[in-house]
Amino acid sequence: MDIMLILSIETSCDETAAAVTRDGRIVLADEIFSQVDKHALYGGVVPEIASRSHVEVITDLADSALRSAGAERGELDAVAVTCAPGLIGALLAGVSFAKGAAFSLGVPLIPVHHIRGHIASNYIAFPELAPPFLCLIVSGGNSLIADVRGYTDMSVIGATRDDAAGECFDKVARALGLGYPGGKLIDELARGGDDTAFKLPRASVEGRPYDMSFSGLKSAVINVLRGAERRGEELDLRSLAASFSAAVSDALVPRVMDAARKLGRDKIAVAGGVAANSRIRGDFERAARADGRRLYMPPPALCGDNAAMIGCQGYYEYLAGVRADMSLNAYATMPIDKKEWL
């Protein structure tokens, strides 16, 4: 096949997304409908609202993606869809739509793992990037370090034991009264703050050097806030945000660099919503330069959930022979390295 046109669908959390990609890495259309406003009222994602909202907009969004791409339905070669991991009802909205689309068009249905999709956002941003490389994926629901040996061959070498990094950002933001989602707001607040003003913990997991833990850090920030409140003290919130961001970055950057050294990977990629964080990006740039390793960080727009990354990974899954039939289900959890995962 000379040209491979894929319609891709992503509905794993609170973003409804549809994209059209050509030959994996060329993005012809990438449409995102964010539900953030609907969930902000509740301070976090309400799964039932997310599922309903996906169902309401997905058909129009897919049509709009096709229009933006200048493509006809009949030109599509496959439909790719995120089927795991994520909110089960939200995933099912996308999977059901994708099944209907693939069936009615008579094209293959390609199931895509959401985290594999995040990794693939780097292929879109960096046309020259090819495995093997080490990838840190830090989002609202996941934090893990993956050794990417091939486009569909990868394993997790470290993961968070409790909260995801993004979840920690969001919970700390809520404690600071910043609103939801809080990662970006903490990032902005931290600018100009003194990152050494507050002593915050950097956790490690005994015997598992690449695993991470963020719940202690979140509790430490909350304790600082409560202590100040009890004493009637005004806190320098800019410096608290800066100290917190530094602690998260310290939990990520040196770990990834150590793993790259140990595994002999000269390329390091970062993905997921938290990869948009300016402190973490700056620390990675410095560390990679000092260590002589190539660093790949997608632009912030490609870090968060999107469907282009699902279309890109879907292409590589397709080349590897991965297909789903009409019995495809959605899964709230699924390891990225499961060999036969459907």
Query: Which member of 25, 184, 255, 293 binds ligand KG4 (CB under 6 A)?
Result: 184
Least distance in angstroms from the C-beta of 164 to ligand KG4 = 7
Alpha carbons 279 and 15: distance in angstroms, whole number: 25
By the rule CB under 6 A, 140 interacts with ligand KG4: yes
Beta bridge partners of 269: 135, 296
- Number of C-beta neighbours around residue 143 at 10 A: 29
- Site track for ligand KG4 across 293-332, x = CB under 6 A: -----------xx---------------------------
Nearest one of 300, 279, 299 to 191, comparing CA atoms:
279
**CB closer to ligand KG4, 121 vs 152:** 121
By the rule CB under 6 A, 272 interacts with ligand KG4: yes
Total residues contacting ligand KG4 by CB under 6 A comes to 19
Query: Within 127-265, where are the H helices?
Result: 165-175, 183-190, 215-231, 237-263
By the rule CB under 6 A, 187 interacts with ligand KG4: yes
Query: Which member of 4, 9, 13, 256 binds ligand KG4 (CB under 6 A)?
Result: 13
By the rule CB under 6 A, 85 interacts with ligand KG4: no
Residues 96-135 that bind ligand KG4 (CB under 6 A): none
By the rule CB under 6 A, 19 interacts with ligand KG4: no
**CB closer to ligand KG4, 78 vs 113:** 113
DSSP line for 55-81: HHHHHHHHHHHHHHHT--GGG--EEEE
Residue 155 tokens, joined: 């394993």
Alpha carbons 91 and 211: distance in angstroms, whole number: 27
In sequence order, which residues have a C-beta less than 8 Å from that of residue 297 and are 6 or more positions away? 125, 269, 270, 275, 281, 284, 303
Residue 286 tokens, joined: 């410095």
Query: Which member of 117, 182, 298, 311 binds ligand KG4 (CB under 6 A)?
Result: 182
Nearest one of 160, 21, 142 to 84, comparing CA atoms:
142
Sheet of strand 15-22: strand arrangement: 26-34, 15-22, 5-10, 78-84, 109-113
Determine the angle formed by the axes of helices 165-175 and 215-231, rounding to 10 degrees: 10
Candidates 42-50, 138-146, 225-233, 324-332; binding stretch for ligand KG4 (CB under 6 A): 138-146
Query: Which member of 276, 287, 307, 334 binds ligand KG4 (CB under 6 A)?
Result: 276
By the rule CB under 6 A, 170 interacts with ligand KG4: yes
Burial 279-306 (b: 16+ CB within 10 A, else e): bbbebbeebbeeeebebbbbeeebbbbb
Least distance in angstroms from the C-beta of 135 to ligand KG4 = 13
Query: Which member of 169, 210, 244, 316 binds ligand KG4 (CB under 6 A)?
Result: 169
Least distance in angstroms from the C-beta of 50 to ligand KG4 = 12
Least distance in angstroms from the C-beta of 188 to ligand KG4 = 8
Query: Residues interacting with ligand KG4, by CB under 6 A?
Result: 13, 139-141, 166, 169-170, 181-184, 187, 272-274, 276-277, 304-305
